[in-house]
Amino acid sequence: MTARAHEIADTIVQLPTDCAPAHILSRLKPIIGTSNPKLKRASPLPMIADEHGHPVTTKHDLCRRWVEFFSLMEGGERVTKEALREQWREGLAHFIQQELHLSPDDIPTLTDLEIAFRRVRPHKAVGADNVPPELCHLYPTRLARAVYGQLLKLCTHGQEALIHKGGLLVAAWKRKGSQMACESYRSLLISSHVAKTVHRAVRSHQSQTYESFLQAEQIGGRKAIPVTMGVHFIRAAARAARLSKQSHALIFLDLREAFYRVLRPLSIGGPIPDELLALVAARLHLPAEALHDLQQLLRDPSGTERANMAPHQRRTLQALHTHTHFWMHGQDDRIHTRLGSRPGDPFADVVFGYMFARILTEVEQKLDAIGVLETIEDVTATGLYPSSDKNDVVKHTMLGPTWMDDLCITITGATAEGVESRASAAASILLEVCTAHGVSPNLDKGKSEVLFSF
């Protein structure tokens, strides 16, 4: 306790007199610890069980176990640094264009990049390029001018530095489950802040196309939409069912390793190797007919094509997600990843959103075909004091709110037996469509469940 008190006193003395309260808390929290009693637990020991449930005994085996686990999760393959660099150079030649027909509005502006640099939060881990986040946050104008050439190359010819495509992967315990099981840990990618800033500027420039493609109740990833909006959707649906004296059901869906199992061609296009597709089929235990449906989906236009995204923007997205890689402490080679939407990157939820929008649209169409999709009434007038006397009643269907990978489908029925039957049909369609797209619902207790109100 004495050592901690001295450390707190020394830290306070070193703080500037005009620093913000948030900065003071961020400096003191590593010393004082969390105030949440549920989170006051000791950090787990670096002891992990191998594939057979036996503890690993050497540092080399520990690194190998972690690398194999996260590599399988993201469809990765181990390659040397030299081999990865050669593959990256071949990819640059593939994306480069001989002719370009673009206007200034087709490219993010220097101001967009400067705003993205201002949004970098200080006191974050530093990526492989050793550019600290404080530098990005405090000198956005200078860095934007220095980096804008990289953004132009990315948006026109799909050229991006290899160091901006990967990062150091660390395992973080989820604070639930066995501390010796790899499944109880999530991966955190420590990548370049400059790369993430460029990606953020590109994403902001493409946001209108992305939001227009999302399913109607897919609220995650939209600008100025709070997470509590989904709660209001659910409460309004339950309140309407109670007022009309109908039984009501809520189908909650939780996907297993959602952001890591995204088949990138479904979202952004591009080829997928046969061995990678076989790996996905083996991991999800897909039957032959489901694998055939997945192959057909991959032949259809991607999500970005269906969204009518401009060709140069589609090329940028594909380039961002080509030759992505990671490495872990104690590893000399690299893991070339081919699955997932790179959690932690500004485009992670966008790539997932394009794929999930296809799933939600298909589920909505199938529920509407069998008459299970809920229909609600609305009025054309808006606001507390509408200026027009015309207040027509319109009807439209509603699937249910979706926030990133969390979905809640609302179902109503005139009787208790009726809502059970309708919810069962809806859940069957939902699970079938998810499996056909290469994602697996988490059917564990407390994850994907149905809540009835009779």
Residue 272 pLDDT:
83
In which element (H, E) is residue 170 found? strand 166-173
Alpha-carbon gap, residue 295 to 438, rounded angstroms: 10
Q: Give me the CATH topology for the region 229-255+358-453.
A: Alpha-Beta Plaits (3.30.70)
Residue with tokens 């000791």: 42
Q: Which residues of the chain have pLDDT under 50?
A: none
Residue 450 pLDDT:
94
Residue 46 pLDDT:
66
Looking at residue 120, what DSSP letter applies? P
Residue 41 pLDDT:
56
The distance from CA 416 to its chain's CA centroid, rounded to whole angstroms, is 37
Alpha-carbon gap, residue 222 to 214, rounded angstroms: 9
Residue 132 pLDDT:
95
**For the CA atoms of 60, 66, 72, 76, what is the dihedral angle to 10 degrees?**
-70
How many helices, marked H, and strands, marked E, lie in the chain? 16, 11
SS3 5: helix
Single-letter residue type at 89: R
Inter-residue contact 334 to 78 (CB < 8 Å): yes
Cα–Cα–Cα angle for 230, 254, 325, rounded to 5 degrees: 110
Cα distances (Å, whole numbers) of residue 229 to 50, 236, 401: 43, 11, 8
Statement: the pTM of the whole predicted model exceeds 0.75: yes
Residue ranges of the domains in the chain? 2-39, 59-213+317-339, 229-255+358-453
Environment class of residue 287 by beta-carbon count within 10 Å: exposed (0-12), middle (13-18) or buried (19+)?
A: exposed
Alpha-carbon gap, residue 349 to 204, rounded angstroms: 13
Inter-residue contact 316 to 156 (CB < 8 Å): no
Inter-residue contact 233 to 217 (CB < 8 Å): yes
